[in-house]
Structure 1
Amino acid sequence: MRYPAAETAEKHERILDQAAKLFRERGFSGVSVSEIMKATGLTHGPFYNHFPSKEALMAESMQHTSQKAMGKFSAVENTADGKADFIGSYLSATHRDTPGDGCLIAALAPEISREPAVRGPLTCHLADFIDKMTSQFPWPEDKPARQQAIQAIAAMVGGLVMARAVSDEALSDEILHDVLAGLTKGS
């Protein structure tokens, strides 16, 4: 039975959304195709009507997530306050505690380095993130803006990864606070 194109597209989008969330929460190897399909309210069978493999789903879900993330930049003020708010939101307890809704780099970068199918989408996402950070926000003129954007992203991702990794909530909060302070002082 063939479904209308709009219904098929809606199902495809649901699969991508759920896959992206589950991958960020549990990693690529920590979630099965059956679990993703169940989360979308579909059975396992139609999966291969949408994707040739789990690896293809991984790559497309990353591209999908990246497009959504880059789209959020349009709502951020291109001021020093906007930059501080953006970095503050990134380095927040809320972001730390909800990896399924957060940054795909912080959630998946270590796994991505071992997954050839998704290295390309991550590379594109990171390049876009660098470009957006470079052009969206004002940067001090003592160093090139792109260099500062890369340094800020590296500190943000690293800080978030460290804050998620430790078992001591006070230390986790301290990491977030101190990385934020280092990135926003004198913005």
Structure 2
Amino acid sequence: MPWPEEQRDHTRQRILDSAARLFALHGFDAISLDDLMADAGLTRGAFYHHFRTKTELYGEAIIHAGKAGSAYLDTLGDAGLALLVEHYLRVSHCEGENLRCPLAFMATDVTHREQKIRRSYTRTFEAFVKRLQAGLAGASPRVRERAFQLAATLIGGVAIARALDDPELAQELLAACREGGQALVDEGS
């Protein structure tokens, strides 16, 4: 007897949640299917009811995490981008305590993956830039350019801060990125 659709969706969601978190924190190669499924509280057999390969899951996990980030931005209301800059460029984000942006956390890992994975990353980046663009004030022809600059400031700031072994230098970098990001948000006001 097949599982009810609601149960299948819930199970798929659990797998995607675990995959997005574990791939972001550890990378594709460091996580096995057994690790993923144990984290999701499911058996390895359940994996194959939802995904054909780990690579397929990785691509979907990037998109899933991007949608979760977008949903988070929705909760921030009118001050959304200013609050995003403030929260995104913090050590707690770099450490992956809550939000783990796939664009920052998986940037270097994705460069070594197949085209399908890179396409998922690209689609997620494009959606992020469009979302930033929609949230930036002003009718300036520079809005798209500012959205790219803000995306690079956010993603680059976190990716570099995660790679540094000097906590004070990482804090200094994040503070500079917060200031630059806030200036981009405020520019059209």
* Fold conserved between structures, TM > 0.5: yes
Per-residue deviation, 1:139? 5.0
1:171 aligns with 2:169: yes
Q: Equivalent residue of 2:45, what SS?
A: coil
User: Structure 2 CA distance, aligned partners of 1:167 and 1:159?
Assistant: 14
Distance change (3 Å), C-alpha of 1:154 and 1:140: farther
Q: Write the letter of the residue equivalent to 2:117.
A: V
Distance change (3 Å), C-alpha of 1:123 and 1:99: farther
Q: Equivalent residue of 2:112, what SS?
A: coil
Are 2:74 and 2:80, in contact at CA under 8 Å, matched by a contact in 1?
no
1:50 aligns with 2:47: no
Distance change (3 Å), C-alpha of 1:139 and 1:153: farther
How many residue pairs match? The answer is 184
Describe the superposition over 1:92-117 as per-residue Cα deviations: whole angstroms up to 9, x where unpaired: 12111117731101111112122122
Q: Write the letter of the residue equivalent to 2:102.
A: L
Q: Which residue of 2 aligns with 1:63?
A: 63
Q: Which runs of 5+ in 2 are unaligned?
A: none
Q: Which residue of 1 aligns with 2:126?
A: 127
Distance change (3 Å), C-alpha of 1:121 and 1:147: same
Describe the superposition over 1:50-98 as per-residue Cα deviations: whole angstroms up to 9, x where unpaired: 11111111111122222222223322344xx543221111101211111
Q: CA RMSD in A?
A: 1.9
**Identical aligned residues as a percent:** 28
User: Structure 2 CA distance, aligned partners of 1:130 and 1:182?
Assistant: 17
Q: Write the letter of the residue equivalent to 1:55.
A: T
Q: Which residue of 1 aligns with 2:2?
A: 2
Are 2:92 and 2:98, in contact at CA under 8 Å, matched by a contact in 1?
no
User: Structure 1 CA distance, aligned partners of 2:3 and 2:130?
Assistant: 39
User: Structure 2 CA distance, aligned partners of 1:156 and 1:140?
Assistant: 22
User: Structure 1 CA distance, aligned partners of 2:45 and 2:81?
Assistant: 45
Q: Equivalent residue of 1:50, what SS?
A: coil
Per-residue deviation, 1:140? 8.2
Describe the superposition over 1:11-40 as per-residue Cα deviations: whole angstroms up to 9, x where unpaired: 111001001100000001110111000111
